[in-house]
A and B are shown apart, each in its own frame.
Chain A
């Protein structure tokens, strides 16, 4: 309803700079006053080792693709705005917020979700550590926490710097402070933070007590 007014207002306000740039381009097309019908596009990506070919509304986020189109509901939607980390998945080896990424941006990418890390019979070491250390209460943030935790240990191993590092020219150390800072993009409403830190330390093979010292 808003859109007609919105678009024509935008058209008017585009102003001289936009008009100049448009005039400089080879083809100027008249601007239709109506909102466009939803556009769809084919998208192929590999999820947990399996190739998936889909046709999606361009607006579909990677998160909604997983949850609504592929029934991979392990990945959670908390805020849908990059503010909580519940939707964290690993894409081409890097953790990202799947709520702030369109599926069409991930043509050909390799996505790993919580379902791809382990199975109930054969847990990923980080999943097992979360169970052992009670790294959750309600569990809603947990898939995102686990994907992030695995990526964080890789980032420290790779030597990526962090906000809490004293000397940027040195390699980061596996300390509790480092892990906590790097996990700040994953919020836990239940406040399971200290147990999450212990689970991570366990997987990293460092002594939690020594770390706290």
Chain B
């Protein structure tokens, strides 16, 4: 690990300014992703601004009947919240399908949104990777790509966003609230938060340098049955090959987002519109522009089957 200096910020504005002011500075929340990457020298911050004292650890109702989740609320606390379990079950289900109990105790809402890809070549500093080292090439294209993206990828990067929680937030139309170094705030719809790789795969999301996530808000509950179906190589403590976050209404209509398939949680409005026609109709729309590799083409029929299972579960609920 490279040496770094460390400080604890007291307010969100102070934290944002501290990161913006110092070249190579980064926020530190739970540390479960950042430290992992620092040990491998994939991340080499020279200064860490620990955000644990910012008091962003509450879940509060919003004036329009939704919930505001502080950036530092842990995955364990968010999944266990009675309002989330009752009204946003897809979110609890997605969180408890991820990582392990130990990791969820430390993982924060903001840190989870910002976790980096699990592309094996990104993790191997001996291999070319445009995300880790812009311009160095992409070892995954033509390499081992079983876990990687089938849609929204580019000739520069075919990595996936690996997380579960954000897939549920995408189906819930959540909003990410931030504060910048100059004190201005903004609200970013989750659909616009993560980026597609294009020719800038080193950028995972649309945050600016030093921009701090303060909260994620959920709109008022929309009812329906809530599902998170995660398909992986072992039954627990593994990243998704494909996941399905869905909310299904009594009449069979609904919405769905897919995880493990793209550089961001994947949701296509035209696919939501055909939910009543069954899983195959939905994935035909959602994956219309897919560009899978030979290794990962299986993900598309797998997504259809996972969604079919989800729809069946919704019917029997």
Contact = CB atoms under 8 A, between A and B. Distances in A.
B273 interface: no
A17 B208 CA distance: 6
A97 B102 contact: yes
A2 B44 CA distance: 11
Contacts of B48: 58
B76 A184 contact: no
A39 B3 contact: yes
B46 interface: yes
Given A11-B23, A97-B103, A185 B6 contact: no
B31 A185 contact: no
B209 A18 contact: yes
A41 interface: yes
A22 B96 contact: no
Contact of A184 (B79, B85, B100, B181): B100
27 contacts: A7-B46, A14-B209, A17-B209, A20-B208, A20-B209, A21-B181, A25-B182, A27-B21, A31-B23, A31-B24, A81-B36, A95-B101, A100-B32, A105-B50, A151-B101, A152-B101, A161-B79, A161-B92, A161-B96, A168-B86, A168-B92, A169-B86, A181-B236, A182-B101, A184-B100, A184-B236, A185-B99
A26 interface: yes
A107 B4 CA distance: 17
A89 B92 CA distance: 25
A58 B105 contact: no
Interface in A64-121: 80-82, 85, 88, 94-97, 100-102, 104-105, 107
A88 B210 contact: no
B20 interface: yes
Interface of B: 1-6, 8, 17, 20-24, 28, 30-32, 35-36, 39, 41, 44, 46, 48, 50, 52, 76, 79-80, 82, 85-86, 89, 92-93, 96-97, 99-103, 105-106, 134, 180-182, 202, 208-211, 235-237
A6 B93 CA distance: 40
Contact of B35 (A2, A13, A100): A100
Contacts of B30: 100-101
A158 B79 CA distance: 13
A114 to B, nearest CB: 15
A96 B17 CA distance: 30
Contacts of B181: 21, 24-25
